[in-house]
Amino acid sequence: MTHVHIIGGGLAGLSAAVDVIGRARVSVYEAGPACGGRARSYYDKALDARIDNGNHLLLSANKASFRYLGLIGAEKTLIGPGAPLFPWFDLSTNTGWTLQLSKGRVPFWAFSRRRRVPGMKLGELAMLGRLLKAGPDQTVSAFLGEGMLTRRLLEPFAISALNTPLETASAALLAAIMRETLALGGTACCPWYPAEGLSESFVDPAIAHLTRLQGEVHCGTRIAGLDVQDGRVVGLKSGSETIAIGPEDKVVFAAPSPVARTLLEPHLPDFTAPDAYESIINVHYRLPGPVTARGMLAKVGFVGLVGGVAEWIYLKGEILSVTVSAANRYAARDNDELIATIWSEIRQAVGPVLVETLPEAVPPVRLVCEKRATFAATPAQDRLRPQAKTGLANLALAGDWTQTGFPSTIEGAIRSGSEAIRALGLSH
């Protein structure tokens, strides 16, 4: 039986493993103490709580992700309102509303004052059509207008999806997301997120599934180099050992792009990979007890914000968790000042719809800044992304940074794992 060796136990590596197990022997080598990579949960001592490194949102359109969850028996671990509902709050005008997309492709929602973005003009919808035809060198800001549809929907949607300032972000990558989500209508846009944690949804069930099928997952095993002979990988160097790669064996490289550049450039002459990154900040506030929301926030579990620093607030029991994307722009700001600013935004946006009163003083808090959360989704970086197939006969690439046609997302990472298996000629 072919033995597939997978370097990296993030979602791309796990997706490759889950895809091929049963048809091949599988070993995953993960450098860290646990799998999950940029989508993981852990116990935070200061908060005395288990948290995710960052809030992650999926949309019902993310077919590969739901297929993966199905294969590992974890599809029921996500929660969401079961409808395309997005509560929003504009901090600059103190206005709240809920975007309620219509099910199908025709945007009936835009004709209803109750369902659309307040202040938007119907004419602004034409911008969406133009964006869908964006060329590979165009940036998102070249398409944006001045109206409320831009300010209150397109800008926050684009910055969350691309994690890149819109003046430099690739319009074609945004269009790729839009074609599979907004353009298909509300059925494709129902939001989902882990009920418990990222690891409980995407990682632990995958490892249990792989282990049940005799797969091996080696955490704490950093691959530091490849031995290559006659156009094939013949060994993986880890510490003082070399893992032998037999003549029938295959390798999936699913570690992040900076590692790829170091390990692969010596063996692949024309190798390129993204080399510019954007950070994401998540701030987790621990309250004395669980908070209960009223109305739409209770139904959906999160709210989107415009007009401030915070972009999404998630209610997770006694944790209020905030996401700030494309966060390189805040690098010079003091963490305590950011924490205080975001806390006051939380109090303004959700304080009035919570049953409990939020304290004025900042509660115990953890700020997590993932410096290389994603590659910068610019046209130039997108051109550096390699295909899964490489010049080495038994090596394929996976990872959200490979050429998935998507920005850095769970969906892209999971698709890339399957694509690597296809590139090795091992798909069904």
Ligand X SMILES: Cc1cc2nc3c(=O)[nH]c(=O)nc-3n(C[C@H](O)[C@H](O)[C@H](O)COP(=O)(O)OP(=O)(O)OC[C@H]3O[C@@H](n4cnc5c(N)ncnc54)[C@H](O)[C@@H]3O)c2cc1C
Point out which residues bind ligand X (CB under 6 A): 7-13, 29-32, 37-39, 53-54, 56-57, 222-223, 254-256, 259, 280, 282, 370, 373-374, 399-400, 408-411, 413
Q: Which of 196, 224, 206, 251 is nearest to 392 (CA)?
A: 251
CB of 415 to ligand X, least distance (A): 10
Select 85 or 397, whichever has its Cβ closest to ligand X: 397
C-beta of residue 2 within 8 angstroms of C-beta of residue 24 = yes
**Residue that has been written with the tokens 């298996």 in this structure:** 421
CB of 113 to ligand X, least distance (A): 29
CB of 39 to ligand X, least distance (A): 4
| CA dist., res. 68 & res. 18, Å (int) | 8
Per-residue DSSP letter, 122 = G
Select 282 or 394, whichever has its Cβ closest to ligand X: 282
Select 183 or 243, whichever has its Cβ closest to ligand X: 243
Q: Which residues contact 230 (CB under 8 A, 6 or more apart)?
A: none
Select 110 or 306, whichever has its Cβ closest to ligand X: 306
Select 59 or 120, whichever has its Cβ closest to ligand X: 59
Select 59 or 297, whichever has its Cβ closest to ligand X: 59
CB of 230 to ligand X, least distance (A): 24
C-beta of residue 169 within 8 angstroms of C-beta of residue 81 = no
Looking at this protein, which amino acid is placed at residue 219? C
| CA dist., res. 401 & res. 255, Å (int) | 10
CB atoms within 10 A of CB 255: 27
CB of 338 to ligand X, least distance (A): 15
| CA dist., res. 230 & res. 214, Å (int) | 31
Select 54 or 379, whichever has its Cβ closest to ligand X: 54
CB of 245 to ligand X, least distance (A): 15
Task: Look at phi and psi of residue 295 and say left if phi exceeds 0, alpha if psi is from -120 to 50, else beta.
Answer: left
Helix (H) or strand (E) holding 313: strand 312-316
CB of 254 to ligand X, least distance (A): 6
Select 255 or 346, whichever has its Cβ closest to ligand X: 255
Helix (H, G, I), strand (E, B) or coil at 147: coil
What phi, psi does 46 have (nearest 5°)? Answer: -60, -35
Helix (H) or strand (E) holding 375: strand 365-375
CB of 30 to ligand X, least distance (A): 5
C-beta of residue 338 within 8 angstroms of C-beta of residue 327 = no
Select 124 or 411, whichever has its Cβ closest to ligand X: 411
CB of 409 to ligand X, least distance (A): 3
What phi, psi does 234 have (nearest 5°)? Answer: -115, -10
| CA dist., res. 331 & res. 369, Å (int) | 10
Select 11 or 189, whichever has its Cβ closest to ligand X: 11
C-beta of residue 409 within 8 angstroms of C-beta of residue 396 = no
Total count of residues recorded for the chain: 428
Alpha helices in 254-397 (DSSP H): 257-264, 295-300, 335-349, 379-383
CB of 122 to ligand X, least distance (A): 30
| CA dist., res. 234 & res. 216, Å (int) | 19
